[in-house]
Structure formats: structure tokens, C-alpha cells
Homo-oligomer: A and B are copies of this chain.
Amino acid sequence: MKIYFAASIRGGGIDPETCRELLNHLRGYGRVFTEHICDEAADLDGDWGPDWDIYERDIRWLESADVVVAEVSLPSLGVGYEIGKAEEWGKPILCLYCTNSPRKLSAMINGNENLTVKKYGDLSEALVLIDDFLKHSPP
């Protein structure tokens, strides 16, 4: 299974430890395209290449993914954009929102019945939600 994992980087930056735990768990199901995401979230000032290269790489990965798993506890233009594109392309999308988030989840995500939106309290709950979702996703 090819998985596109999306999380806030420049929009606030997912906690690197949470990011790595989610990423490692997803790896148990197949190839995760966006393995660099935890490093970028931990080092916003690093040299990650020109934005058009990042865009071209990520959009190709998104196109070829079987499923999308998005951490949506923090606001993010990139994650929202990727969810919108992936929905148009008919991909199954799991959105994970931590109930401890300081931000209320966008109505465009929370009110959208085309997405699977699940809320978790601690990380172990998030991992179970991933299991439930990926066990029922093709291929």
C-alpha cells in the first residue's frame, strides 16, 4: 500500500515525536512517501529545496498514493490543499484530530462527509484509528 502522510509543517509544525510515532506505525502498512516530513517539521529553517521542487514532488506522490492519512490538529494550507486534491481524485482520506488541539477543526474538514474524520486523545488511540482505517482501505 502506498500512503501519503500529511501534517502541518510551516503552519505550526506537528510535534516531531508524535510525527515519528505516526510515521513508524504507517510504515507497517507499506510505503510512506512523505518520510521527510518529521525532519522538516523539526527544522523549519533547513534547506529543503525550492518550493516548486517540493510542490512537484509532493503532488506526484499524492497522485500515486492509495490512501491519505492527514494529521489535522494544527492549521495548515498545505494539508488542506492536499485533502482537497485527494478528495477530487477519489482517494480514501483519514483525518486525525487531537482533542487537546488549541484550534477548533475547520468546518471544511469536520463537516465534510467525503472524509473519515476521527478524534483522538492520546497517541495510542490514533494508532488504533489508523489500524481501523487502513484495514478497510484498498488495496
* Residues of A that sit less than 8 Å from B by CB: 8-12, 44, 48, 50-56, 58-59, 72, 74-85, 87-88, 103-113
Contact = CB atoms under 8 A, between A and B. Distances in A.
A79 to B, nearest CB: 6
A112 B108 CA distance: 22
B74 A80 contact: no
Given A10-B105, A55-B112, 20 more contacts: A8-B75, A11-B75, A48-B107, A51-B107, A51-B111, A52-B112, A54-B111, A55-B107, A55-B110, A55-B111, A75-B75, A75-B76, A76-B76, A77-B80, A77-B106, A80-B82, A81-B108, A81-B109, A82-B84, A84-B87
B10 A58 contact: no
24 contacts: A10-B75, A10-B103, A10-B104, A11-B11, A11-B75, A12-B103, A52-B112, A55-B110, A55-B111, A55-B112, A58-B107, A72-B77, A75-B75, A76-B77, A76-B106, A77-B79, A77-B83, A77-B109, A78-B106, A80-B81, A80-B84, A81-B81, A84-B87, A88-B88
A74 B84 CA distance: 18
Given A75-B10, A111-B52, A106 B81 contact: yes
Contacts of A59: 108
